[in-house]
Amino acid sequence: MDSASAPARLRARPSWLLNQAALPAQRLVADGLATVGARRPHFSVLAALDEFGPASQAALGRRCGIDRSDMVALVNDLAAADLLRRTPDPQDRRRNVIAITEAGREHLHTLNRLLDETQEELLAPLSAAEREQLVRMLTAVVDHHGRAR
């Protein structure tokens, strides 16, 4: 649907506008990450490990909002590419501890650069001040509904 031709009742609804903005955002991010064979969950896991340090596979999945069954395949893929390492937890041998590798940090740097480029493309019509304001407002909405769960 051409958003300019959408009914005014839709164009006035923040929920509709958020959804319409999310569609190109998801496409741009997916296309940007695909240039290096990555997907959004790869970025999420590497960013979480880099920011918060090693974690159990289950805790990492919860932190990133990745389903347990998807997490196993994702960790396998990233470990096979030497972007993270999985070692038995010394306190509970039934569990693995996941840590980012130096290659993972380098890959994360590349993914950050690609995502910065996609943000530029997505937010091209906005000034720097408008972008900051948008991020603040979206953060408030996301944080509010994240706490409400």
Domains of the chain by residue range? 40-115
- Check residue 1 and give its pLDDT: 56
DSSP annotation of 126: S
CB 57 within 8 A of CB 70: no
For the structural domain made of 40-115, what CATH number should be given? 1.10.10.10
Q: What is the mean pLDDT of residues 11-24?
A: 93
Q: How far apart are CA 139 and CA 134, in angstroms?
A: 8
Closest CA to 74 of 39, 120, 29: 39
Which helix (H) or strand (E) is 138 found in, with range? Answer: helix 128-148
140 pLDDT more than 70: yes
Structure confidence at residue 90 (pLDDT)? 85
Per-residue pLDDT tens digits for 72-102: 999 999 999 999 999 998 888 888 899 999 9
The average confidence (pLDDT) of the chain is 93
pLDDT of amino acid 92: 84
Residue 148 predicted with pLDDT over 60:
no
Please report the pLDDT score of residue 91 as a whole number.
84
Task: Report how far residue 42's alpha carbon sits from residue 110's, in angstroms, rounded to the nearest whole number.
Answer: 12
Regarding predicted confidence, which is higher, 4 or 99? 99
